[in-house]
Amino acid sequence: MTDFNIAKREGIALLGALLLAAGLKIWLVMSGAVPFNSDEAVVALMARHILQGERPVFFYGQAYMGSLDAWLVAAAYSIFGQGVLPVRIVQIGLYLAYLLSLWLVARTLFTERRIATLAVVVAAVPTVLVTTYTTASLGGYGETLVMGNLILWCGYQVSWGRWQASRLAWFSLGVVSGVAFWTSGLSLVYILPVGLVILLRFRRSQVWLAVLGLIGFAAGSSPWWYHNMAEGWEALKVLIDAGSGTTSPGEHLVSLLVLGIPGLFGLRFPWSPTFSPLPLLFIGLLVHLLSAAYLVWSLKNDRALFAPGAVTLLGIFVLVYLLVFVGSRYGVDGSGRYLLPLNLLLVLSAGVLLNAVWRRRPAWAGALLLLLLFINGAEIWRAARSDEKITTQFDPITRFDNRYDSALMDFLRQNDEMRGYSNYWVSYRLAFLSNEELIYAPLLPYKTDLSYAPGDDRYPQYSDTVFTSPKAALITTLHPRLDEELRTRLHAGQVDYDEQWIGPYHVFYNLSRKVLPAELDLGIPPP
C-alpha cells in the first residue's frame, strides 16, 4: 500500500473519530445530560462582562486560574449570541482540538502510524471522568489538556526532533507553556517534565534558543505576572500553598489508588465512590490492565516501536506527575479531575495494545476497539440517565439540574423578589440565566455543617447591589437543617414571611423587613 493510501485511510479514520466525538458531545448537550451550574455560570458571566468592557485576568475570586476560557466564550458569544449553548460549543471545540493534539503527540512518539489513529478513536468516546470535565466548563481543563499535549510535542521536537535548532519551535514552546501556566497551575505537570528533558538534552549551541523560549514563556504568561505584581502576588501564594495542607503524601497515594485510578479508568463516576456494575467493572479493568502490561512489555521487548527519546519523555512526564499529585493538595481531591493529564497515557497504551492485535488479527482488534468504545459509551449513557446526570457536584445538597430554573425565575419576578441572598450554587446560575435581572448574593451556606466560605462571594458587586436593595428574599436548596435554622432566626427576630418550594429551591419571600445574612447568626460575616 502506498504512503498516499495509508495517509488517506488515516485521514478518514481521524475524521471519523472527530465526528464521533462531536456527535457524542452534541447529544450530551442537547439532551440536557450535563446540568449547567454556577461554576459554568461564572465563566459565562465573565464572558458577558468582557463584551461589556471588563478585562479580567483571573477568574472572579480565584487568583490561580487564568481567564482564557472566559475570553474564548466571549468570542463565541460574538458569533452565536449569549447563552449556555455557546459555552458548551467552546468546550466541544476544545475537545476536538485535544484529539488532534493527541494524534500529533502519538504520531511523533511512536514509529507505527496506526497507534496514533487508534488512540484518537479510543479517546473519541472517553471515560465518564473525561466526559464530565470536557463538556461542562470549569474554567480551563479543556485548554490545559490541549496546551499540555502541545507542550509535550514541542518539547520533543526541540530535544530529539527535526526542530532542535528552530527558533520558531523554541519560541512557540515558550509561548504555549506561558499561556498554559497562566491558565492553570495544573499545566506544571507538563511544563516541568519538558523542562527537565531540555536540561538533559541541552547543548551549548542552544543557549540563545533557550533564551528565546524564555522570552516566549514571559510573553505567554505576562497576564499572570502583570496581575500579580499589581495585586501582591496572590497567585504565587496560591501556587506555593498547593504544596501544603493537613493531609499527608501517604493519604494522597491511597486516594490515587482507591478513588483516582478507578475514576481515570472509568470504573466509577467522579462524583460518587460507588463502582460500576460488576460486568463492566471486570471487563474494563481487565482491558486497562492488559494495555498497561503490554505497554511495559513493549518497553523491554519492542523498543523499535518508540521514537528516539519517547520513553524518556513519557517516563519523566509520569514520574513528575506522580510527585506533583502525591506531594501537593491536588492529591486531596477524590473526583479524579486532576488525573485528566494521565488520560494521554491511558489512550496511548490502548492504542499500542490494539495495534499489536491488529498486526495479527485485524478483526480481533476491531472487536476489542468496539468493546472499549462500548464500555465507555455504556457508562456515559448510564450516567446521563441517572437522577444526578453527569454532574461536577460531589455534595447531594448541590446536586440538582436545571428543570426548575425557569419556574423559579418566573416566581421571583411575579412576586417582585429581584434581590436576595442564596448560596453559591444558586446565585451565579440565577444571575446568568436571568441576564443579571435577578441578583442574589452568595452569602448563605450550603454545607451540611452550615459553614460558610467567604471565597464563595466571587463577584462582590452582586453583594453590594443586594445590600442597597430595600428588600431581599432568601433561597436555599435541599437543606432541611438550614431551612429550620432560618425559620428559628426569623421568628426570633419577629420577621413575618412566606415560603415556597419550587423543585430543589426553597424560597423565603415577602419578608416583613429586610434581613442581612449576618443577622441570622449562622457565622456569616457582614458584607
Domains in the chain, number: 2
231 and 106 belong to one structural domain: yes
pLDDT at 102: 98
* Residues with Cβ within 8 Å of residue 347, at least 6 apart in sequence: 102, 119, 120, 122, 123
pLDDT interval class at 260 (50, 70, 90)? confident
**pLDDT of 38-61, one tens digit each?**
999 999 999 999 999 999 999 998
% pLDDT > 70, the chain:
94
372 and 441 belong to one structural domain: no
361 and 501 belong to one structural domain: no
Q: Is the pLDDT of residue 22 over 90?
A: yes
**pLDDT of 477-488, one tens digit each?**
999 999 999 999
CA distances (Å), origin 204, targets 160, 208, 211, 427: 15, 9, 12, 56
User: Residue 71, exposed/middle/buried by CB under 10 A (0-12, 13-18, 19+)?
Assistant: middle
- Which of these three, 384, 414, 445, is where a domain ends? 384
User: Residue 384, exposed/middle/buried by CB under 10 A (0-12, 13-18, 19+)?
Assistant: middle
Query: Do the domain assignments include residue 180?
Result: yes
Q: Which residues pair with 520 in a beta bridge?
A: none
**pLDDT of 189-211, one tens digit each?**
999 999 999 999 998 889 999 99
pLDDT interval class at 2 (50, 70, 90)? low
If you average pLDDT over every residue of the chain, what do you get? 91
Residue 59 one-letter amino acid: F
* Residue pair 102/149 in contact by the 8 Å Cβ criterion: yes
344 and 407 belong to one structural domain: no
pLDDT at 459: 94
Residue 506 DSSP one-character state = E
First to last CA, the chain: 72
Q: Is the pLDDT of residue 244 over 60?
A: no
**pLDDT of 350-373, one tens digit each?**
999 999 999 999 999 999 999 999
pLDDT at 3: 62
233 and 278 belong to one structural domain: yes
380 and 408 belong to one structural domain: no
* Residue pair 109/313 in contact by the 8 Å Cβ criterion: yes
pLDDT interval class at 64 (50, 70, 90)? confident
Query: Do the domain assignments include residue 527?
Result: no
Q: Is the pLDDT of residue 1 over 60?
A: no
pLDDT interval class at 124 (50, 70, 90)? very high
Provide the sign of the torsion angle of the four alpha carbons 433, 439, 443, 445, taken in this order: negative
Query: Do the domain assignments include residue 526?
Result: no
| C-alpha grid cell, residue 515 | 434581613
Query: Do the domain assignments include residue 391?
Result: no
Query: Do the domain assignments include residue 189?
Result: yes
Mean pLDDT of all residues in 113-122: 96
pLDDT at 446: 92
pLDDT at 232: 65
Strand residues in 146-276 grouped as ranges (E): none
414 and 358 belong to one structural domain: no
* Residue pair 368/292 in contact by the 8 Å Cβ criterion: no
Query: Do the domain assignments include residue 392?
Result: no
pLDDT at 127: 96
Strand residues in 340-468 grouped as ranges (E): 419-421, 439-441
440 and 343 belong to one structural domain: no
- Which of these three, 339, 363, 384, is where a domain ends? 384
Give the CA count within 13 Å in the CB-facing half-sphere of 116: 25
Angle between helix 84-109 and helix 114-124 axes, rounded to 10 deg = 160
219 and 266 belong to one structural domain: yes
* Residues with Cβ within 8 Å of residue 44, at least 6 apart in sequence: 73, 82, 84, 87, 432
Q: Is the pLDDT of residue 281 over 90?
A: no
- Which of these three, 360, 384, 408, is where a domain ends? 384
223 and 360 belong to one structural domain: yes
| C-alpha grid cell, residue 93 | 471545540
Domain extent at residue 268:
3-384
Angle between helix 141-159 and helix 188-201 axes, rounded to 10 deg = 0
pLDDT at 229: 76
Distance CA 220, CA 242 (A): 22
Q: What is the largest CA-CA distance in the chain?
A: 85
Mean pLDDT of all residues in 363-384: 96
% pLDDT > 90, the chain:
73
Query: Do the domain assignments include residue 390?
Result: no
Query: Do the domain assignments include residue 326?
Result: yes
Q: What is the CA radius of gyration of the chain?
A: 25
- Report helix, strand or coil for 45: helix
Mean pLDDT of all residues in 445-469: 92
417 and 337 belong to one structural domain: no
465 and 443 belong to one structural domain: yes
Distance CA 222, CA 174 (A): 12
Strand residues in 308-425 grouped as ranges (E): 419-421
Range of weakest confidence among 231-235, 322-326, 436-440, 462-466: 231-235
Q: Is the pLDDT of residue 237 over 60?
A: yes
Predicted TM-score of the model (pTM):
0.94
**Buried b / exposed e along 489-521 (16+ C-beta atoms within 10 A):** ebeeeebebeebebebbbbbbebeebbebeebe
**pLDDT of 129-174, one tens digit each?**
999 999 999 878 999 999 999 999 999 999 999 899 999 999 999 9
| C-alpha grid cell, residue 492 | 426570633
